[in-house]
Structure formats: structure tokens, C-alpha cells
Amino acid sequence: MDISWVLLVLAMLVLGLGTQAYINLSYRKWNKIPISTGLTGALAARRMLDAHGLSHIAIQMIPGKLSDHFDPRTNVVSLSESVYGTASVAATAIACHEVGHAVQHAQGYAPARIRASLVPAVSIASNIWIFVMIIGLIVGVLELFWLGIILYVAVIIFQMVTLPVELNASSRALAYVSTSTYLPPQEQGGAKRVLRAAAMTYIAAALISVLQLLYLIGMARR
């Protein structure tokens, strides 16, 4: 077996599992600590939305763990069950992060617009790049293999554009909880740790993708 492939798999495992463990530990710790405002994640999100003049945006509860997201097509902030109804530091941080995305959309935040414009093309690329490469290997057509790599690069570009969008949403959330709801320093620090852990998942995913890209390019050259 190619030693470079073994090293790549090990790096992916370390980054993936390590990041997942970090976010789970941070979430569990701060989800046990009540927020001094007494607000559930849903109420914190509602207040932040209203504070930014976004009373038209709805909030709904969805199943799953850490499945929270904002959909600009429907103008709905979706919060997972544990975030929606829990009055904890972690729930407030995550709920306000998703509202940060809603604020980005309302204010026309450029990286968010770019990311949204890339979604249709990247959705296709992410679903077919591996199959294009496999076909290229089977039929022995190097050009198809390179085409698969190009499609994969599009996926990585999307991940890179996603990073500033996620970090900015977290910055908006932290700015709100630190200045608008007057949380004590300890709770502000907890919210920051939860959001930092969440950001690490995106950073780790991008690093893993870059490592895999380098390996695929090496394969094509060989």
C-alpha cells in the first residue's frame, strides 16, 4: 500500500475525530451551564432577530443534534431540539450564530452572497467528481481523472468561501451576546469557546480536502 495514502488517511482521521471530539466536549460542557438571561435558544434568537429589524424571519425547531441552520430561501432559522428549548450558554451561542447568518443575508454580506451563488454548481460537482475520476481510472483516460480533480477543486473553493461566512456569523453572535444581553464575562467566554469549536469543524474539513487534493494531484502525475 502507498505510504502517502496511509499518511493521508491517518491525517484525515486525526483531524476529523479530534475536531469532532473537541466540539462535542465544548458543547456538552457549556450546555450544562444555565444562561443568566434565562432565555432559551429560540428566545435568544428571536431577540437578536428583532434587534436587527428582522421580525419577519421565523424560527422553527427541527430534529437532530447540532443540525441548526438558516435558510435564506425561506427566511427561516432552524434550531435543533436541544438548542431551541434549552436556556444554556451553548444554546444561546449556537442560536445567535444562526441569526448571524440571517443578518448577513439581510445586509448583503458579500462572502455570503458569493457562497450562495456557488451552491448550485458546487452541489453538482460534489456529487459527481469522484465518479468522473473512477471512470477515468477504469477506462484509462487521464483527462477524465484531471476533470474530476478540477471538479473537486470547485468543492474546496466553496469550503474556503464558507470559512469567512461562518467566522463572521460567530463574530456577530459574540458581539450581540456581549453588548446587547449583558452576559457576565464567564458566559461570554463560554459562548466564544462553543463558537470556536464549531468553526474548527469547517477549518478541519478544508484542511482534509486540501490534503486529499494534493494526493490526487500526485496520483495524476504518476
Whole-Å CA distances, 134 to 76, 130, 155, 217, 220: 39, 6, 17, 14, 12
pLDDT tens string 43-57: 999 999 999 999 999
> pTM for the full model?
0.86
The whole domain housing 209 covers 3-221
Q: Which residues are catalytic?
A: 98
Question: In which residue are the cell numbers 436587527 written?
Answer: 52
CB 149 within 8 A of CB 217: yes
**Sign of the dihedral through C-alpha 92, 162, 129, 6:** negative
| Number of domains into which the chain is organized | 1
pLDDT tens string 152-191: 999 999 999 999 999 999 999 988 988 766 678 888 899 9
pLDDT tens string 76-111: 999 999 999 999 999 999 999 999 999 999 999 999
**The predicted structure's pLDDT at residue 9:** 73
- Asked whether the predicted pLDDT for residue 1 surpasses 60, the reply is no
